[in-house]
Amino acid sequence: MDELDRHIINSLQGGFPVSERPFRDAADELGTTESELITRIRCMLDDGLLTRFGPLYNAENMGGALSLCAMQVPPEHFDEVAEQVNAFPEVAHNYQRDHEMNMWFVLATESLEKLAETLQKIEEDTGLTVCNFPKQEEFFVGLNFQV
Amino acid sequence: MNSTETNLADLDRRIVLASQAGLPLDARPYHWLAKELGVGPELVMERMRAMLSDGRVRRIGVVPNHYRLGYSANGMSVWDVPDGDTREIGRQVGDLDIVSHCYQRPRHLPRWPYNLFAMVHGRSREEVTDKVAGIAALLGDRVRSYDVLFSTRILKKTGLRIQG
């Protein structure tokens, strides 16, 4: 990663133009050329320094429902419960965390009704209570990593 | 919704589906998208701008792999703050450049007193713990209690996708 790569990462985490030649417009701002910018982004994607390039969508504003959920799973049944929970396609990610509430997952469904239904099914399958933590207000999403 | 609105909503959905994995690294990415969808490039750009301005698109750009950039540790900090102060505190915490997501969420009393969640990133667990302590100092007596939960294992990670 050289100076230009850093500059791209620091400056282009948002604000990529919507125009006919957006790479050219962004390159002008960055002091490079259209083809160089495309090459750099491609290399950083191939190299795994970038996970994506493009629009970041807000799933909730798209009409779907999303919620963070947590369960207190007895340690001796942890792997078994993880398997049951992960089997639901509505579970987008699932993390083990070092707390009494040790399983944290995100549910993404098409509607709030479907979300409630899925929660209930997970409770039935696992025999455990699921705490639902729907977002009530968002203060910030994003991270401007500076390198 | 009238039929024009229905058509636009449908087009927006198709734009999302065609671009959620990423924009093509082509000199004219929106033209490429338009061709893919069988509509004019001006319309695609207009819809992209509309989605940016109403928040359906948060932003367009590069998404760095924070693990590769050295930010390998993250902790979910959780805070019990007075309901009346949540908005002010949430904005203050969300503004910190080490915090990626900051939300108000419901308490589940008695076992879960926390109503503010903020993901804190750092190069190590120690750094995250220090930063969380820094936030606690910043908030002072407006915090009744707080904790930070580190992930010990990723059990599933498929990412969010809009279903077609």
Q: Give CA–CA dist B11/B24, Å, rounded.
A: 18
Residue ranges covered by each domain of chain B:
3-53, 73-150
Neighbouring CB atoms inside 10 A of B137's CB total 9
Contact A18 B154 (CB under 8 A): no
**Two tokens at B38?**
């069988």
* Least CB–CB distance from A54: residue in B22, B64, B156: B22
What's B124's DSSP letter? S
What is the dotted CATH code of the domain comprising B73-150? 3.30.70.3460
Contact B23 A101 (CB under 8 A): no
Averaged pLDDT, A7-32: 96
Quick one: pLDDT at residue B32? 97
Residue ranges covered by each domain of chain A:
3-46, 59-133
pLDDT at A69 over 70: yes
pLDDT at B162 over 70: no
* Least CB–CB distance from B62: residue in A13, A19, A95: A13
Contact A68/B at CB under 8 A: yes
Nearest C-alpha in B relative to A107: B160
C-alpha distances out from residue A97 to A124, B41, B95, Å: 23, 46, 25
Contact A6/B at CB under 8 A: no
pLDDT at B159 over 70: no
Report the Cα B147 to chain-centroid distance in Å: 21
Ramachandran class of A31: left when φ > 0, alpha when ψ lies in -120 to 50, beta otherwise: left
Count of CB pairs separated by less than 8 Å, A with B: 235
pLDDT digits (tens, 9 = 90+) for B91-140: 999 888 788 889 999 999 998 999 999 999 888 999 999 999 999 999 99
Residue B33: its chain A contacts at CB < 8 A?
Answer: none
Quick one: pLDDT at residue B4? 78
Nearest C-alpha in A relative to B25: A38
pLDDT at B79 over 80: yes
Residue A70: its chain B contacts at CB < 8 A?
Answer: 112
Report the Cα A87 to chain-centroid distance in Å: 19
C-alpha distances out from residue B69 to A9, A11, B11, B76, B147, Å: 10, 15, 36, 19, 26
CA B86, A57, A21, B23 dihedral sign is: positive
Which of these, B131, B64, B59, B11, lies nearest to A55 by C-alpha position?
B59
Contact A20 B28 (CB under 8 A): yes
Separation in Å, CA of A55 to nearest CA in chain B: 4
Band of residue A144 on the pLDDT scale cut at 50, 70, 90: low
**Mean pLDDT across chain B:** 91
Q: Which CATH class is domain A59-133?
A: alpha beta
Residue A15: its chain B contacts at CB < 8 A?
Answer: 59-61
Averaged pLDDT, B70-74: 83
Which of these is catalytic: A7, A77, A93, A99? Answer: A93
pLDDT digits (tens, 9 = 90+) for B46-66: 999 999 999 889 899 998 888
Nearest C-alpha in A relative to B64: A50
